[in-house]
Structure 1
Amino acid sequence: MNSVNREWAFDFGPGQPMKGYIGVSPQLRYDEEVGYGFEGNGQVNGRSRRQQELSVGETHHAEEHLIHSFCIPIGVNFVVKVPDGTYRVIAQMGDLLADTLTVLKAGESKAVLPPIPTIAGQFRTVMFTVPVRGGKLVLRFSGAAPRINVLNVSSAEETLTIFLAGDSTVTDQPSIGYPNAGWGQMLPQLFKHDVVVDNHAESGRSSRSFIDEGRLESILEKMKAEDFLFIQFGHNDEKSDIPRGTEPFTTYKQYLKLYIDAARDQQARPVLVTPVHRRYFNEDGTLSDTHGDYIIAMKELAMEEDVPLIDLAAESKLLYEAAGIEGSKDYFMWSYPGEYMNHSGGVEDNTHFQERGALRLAELVIEGIIKLDLQPLRMYVR
């Protein structure tokens, strides 16, 4: 492990690792002093497809170990102790003899890649970039038939970053609430490794409380010239409590302008996102607008300040109405008792999304990026 250059190379599975790689056996549990290993309540198995393992020091065809040997991590995390920053992750997975399907997330729940399938004998190399806070890179493995053969991790501080400021409809929801998800949680998988999504959105926050709690300041400490700041607030600005509530055409616009000015002071690029709609229908099957003047006010501000605007309110309205009163439940946290173990009593939530809905909204954000021709983001869409 090279802590000076912030580069790590791991070779997973039984047997001797390839020269220059750190060996990771299925039994290796995370230890603070060692600085890497598996943790969690799932299970890790390992296999080697070589008929005869290399002996210690043997180098002939040593690279075959990268393919022949692998770990099968199910519902566990692989953790690497790293300094906070931005990291490029390159993973290789596959199996000579079996079809595989691996789901890889960062942290508790950040969807950094679409599910990764391979057929027997096929090996895929995938790449993504992820922010690390708290001194640990956490990669969570699951899927119907997961594999991990090789993992390379390196510092990537100059990567173009999209910072997200928003509320519970945007945030990375904790895994304990699965399948609850914010659209910002699903957004990273829709970009190539050239873009990192750093999601600072937090449940219950308004344009006002987000700033008052120092969350915008935390973003500014990391922001570089040419980065992006996507701003979606409204749900909690509508609340009547003093710490969060704002008025559409006065304080709401004033607080939003603070984000715009702060990003521009850093030579970064602000983008306003109208608040995604709640799922409330009128008797005639049309969606009821619960945001009202907040949407109008944000659009006015976008015009006044010449800021790009993604109208997620309008697009989500079309999405829900197309799905209908019953079909739109599939996007939200609606479930029957026993359907999800984390919500054993069932849920009827018309504000928060399950992963399917959050992904669809993230796709609508991507469509907005393409429509506005926000370069170079458009160029880096998967």
Structure 2
Amino acid sequence: MEPRYRFDFGTGDPVEGYTKVGPDAAYDGAAAGYGFTRTERVNAKDRGEPGPLRRDFCIPLDTAFVVDVPDGTYRIAALIGDEIAPTETTIRVGQGRLVVHKQRTAPGHYARVVFAARVAGGSLKLTFGGLTPRINALEIDPSPDACTIFLAGDSTVTDQPDDGYPYAGWGQMLPMFVKPDAAVANYALSGRSSKSFIGEGALDRIWQAIKPNDYLLVQFGHNDQKPDAERRTEPFTTYKETLKLYIDGARERGAIPILVTSVQRRFFEADGTLSDTHGEYLVAMRELAAEENVPLVDLVARSKELFERLGPEKTKDLFMWLAPGEFANFPDGAQDNTHFQQQGGIEVARLVYEELKRLQLQPLTLFLR
């Protein structure tokens, strides 16, 4: 039987079948196999009521909780609440993948939030945030048969690191829109084209993990335009030929490929419309989707519509347009018309989610919130 994990956070006596985790439980990567990455600002309270798992909790400020587990897919349930105080908790999996966003509870109320996560590297990492975070209990169960949505793409898709906040890819935000019956495995990498992603072995890593009835979303184009030989493809020849390797490889393994056109960049013309910076690559991907009968998420069309509706100023709140001193990781600010800050990643992920719902693919539509 595959191992299951049960954690009861706080200072009271542990509930039967659960491992007690106090505020000083530091992860050392060897002995206990679980703990907080930082304990300096982790505190705990025991309210004395309303009973097991709910009476006590940890307040996980500026920390992550790590559990050593075998690689695979897991279904995770987190109990969050406080008998006398309102709470707001955000949880990210792995390298910043957003699964619980500003979950609020009123005094005396508790939320049981459930999500799935794909683990690689032998440890599950849950990073906590929010104004008043709480964690009362965690249940972690293997879910090897859960559907996995794999992502192959570039910096607009990838999981950006914590020290790059608020920098975010839309793939990093997609788990918010997926039910706990499916997990998102984001293999996208900054700076890669459809060609270099294969050349560096990233697609092979997907092939090693993907299984029948999983899904593979593929968004490339931003870097296929680059002049260097490692990345450059030509729209109607090598670009289409390379993308077909993703399609054929997924189908050979019983998985379902989905093509995604490159998300729109933020370059406005004087009349308030956006410039087309991807040109024939968009035409080529649409052609390939039709030729190979592959579902298509026309993200460039949806994002262009959204950005033009918002206009030049409001779109700055989605892209990496940061004022000096606004974010600690970018003390000098930033002006970036290609990459997103967290809110932009969320809004673009929402567009992908809406388009996936529109496609009505079975059973994928059942896994979307």
TM-score (norm 1): 0.94
Which of the numbers 2, 7, 12 marks the counterpart of 1:10?
7
Q: CA deviation at 1:267?
A: 1.1
Other structure's SS at 1:105 match: strand
Q: Does 1:375 align with 2:368?
A: no
Count of aligned pairs between the two proteins: 368
In structure 2, the partner of 1:127 is 114
CA distance in structure 2 between the aligned counterparts of 1:375 and 1:115, rounded to whole angstroms? 30
**Equivalence for 1:327:** 314
Give the equivalent residue in structure 1 for 2:27. Answer: 30
Larger Rg: 1
Asked whether the 8 Å contact 1:237–1:246 carries over to 2, the reply is: yes
* 1:297 aligned onto 2:284: yes
Q: CA deviation at 1:106?
A: 0.8
Deviations, residues 269-307 of structure 1 (Å, cap 9, x unaligned): 000000001111111111000000000000000010000
Which 5+ residue runs of structure 2 have no aligned equivalent?
A: none
Mapping 1:272-291, distance limit 5 Å: 272-291=259-278
- Which ranges of structure 1 fall in alignment gaps of 5 or more residues? 52-62
Q: Give the conservation status (yes or no) of the 8 Å contact 2:170–2:345.
A: yes
Report the CA distance between 1:114 and its aligned residue.
2.6
Query: Is the 2:89–2:101 contact (alpha carbons within 8 Å) kept by the matching residues of 1?
Result: no
Distance across 1 between alignment mates of 2:251 and 2:273: 38
**Counterpart check, 1:20 vs 2:7:** no
Using the aligned pairs only, state the percent identity.
52
Query: For residue 80 of structure 1, what is the amino acid of its counterpart?
Result: V
> Cα deviation per residue 1:166-201 (whole Å; 9 max; x = unaligned)?
000000000111001000000001111011010000
Which of 237, 254, 276 is residue 241 of structure 2 equivalent to?
Answer: 254
Partners of 1:346 and 1:144 lie apart in 2 by 24
The residue number in structure 1 matching 2:180 is: 193
Return the match for 1:47 from 45, 48, 56. 45
* Residue pair 2:89, 2:100 contacting (<8 A) in 1 also: no
Q: CA offset at residue 41 of structure 1?
A: 6.9
Q: Structure 2 CA distance, aligned partners of 1:191 and 1:40?
A: 29
Partners of 2:239 and 2:104 in 1: CA distance = 45
Given that residues 113 and 190 in structure 1 are in contact (C-alpha distance below 8 angstroms), is that contact kept between their aligned partners in structure 2? no
Q: Secondary structure at the match of 2:54?
A: helix
CA drift of 1:75 comes to 1.5
In terms of mean alpha carbon deviation, does 40-49 or 197-206 score higher?
40-49
What is the CA-CA distance between 1:374 and the residue it aligns to? 1.7
Q: Which residue does 1:231 correspond to in 2?
A: 218
Deviation digits for residues 326-378 of structure 1, max 9, x if unmatched? Answer: 11111100011000000000100000001111111111011111211122222
Deviation at 1:42, TM superposition (A): 5.7
What letter corresponds to residue 28 of structure 1 in structure 2?
A
Large movers: runs of 4+ above 2 Å: none
CA contact (8 A) 2:323 2:334 kept: yes
In structure 2, the partner of 1:57 is none
SS at match of 1:374: coil
What secondary structure sits across from 1:90 in the alignment? strand
When structure 1 is superposed on structure 2, of 104-113 and 249-258 the one drifting more is 104-113
8 Å CA contact 2:26–2:38 kept in 1: the answer is no
